[in-house]
Amino acid sequence: MPSVAGRERRTYGTGGQVPFATRMPKWLKEEYDAAAQRQGLSLSRLLEELIKLEPLLSPREADDQPADQLSA
């Protein structure tokens, strides 16, 4: 993908990148694309940053709560 003006860049040669692909509904990809654009990030970088976030609940707490009672 060509670079986009203003988008954050990594230092060349860092990372040991591997392909990552998934299927999702078109509306969800559009939401992620919009979120990445608002942050000035590529979609892959946005996903990388989301993965780094601390979990909201520990695994034990998540197992104890019904899914409809988990906060977003």
DSSP reduced 3-state for 35: helix
Residue 71's pLDDT is 56
pLDDT digits (tens, 9 = 90+) for 20-68: 788 999 999 999 999 999 999 988 888 888 888 866 666 666 566 665 6
Output the pTM of the full model: 0.53
Rounded to whole angstroms, the Cα distance separating 42 from 48 reads: 10
**Which residues contact residue 28 at a Cβ distance below 8 angstroms, ignoring those fewer than 6 apart?**
none
Q: How many CB atoms lie within 10 A of CB 20?
A: 8
Residue 50's pLDDT is 85
Q: What integer is the mean pLDDT of 13-19?
A: 72
Residue 1's pLDDT is 46
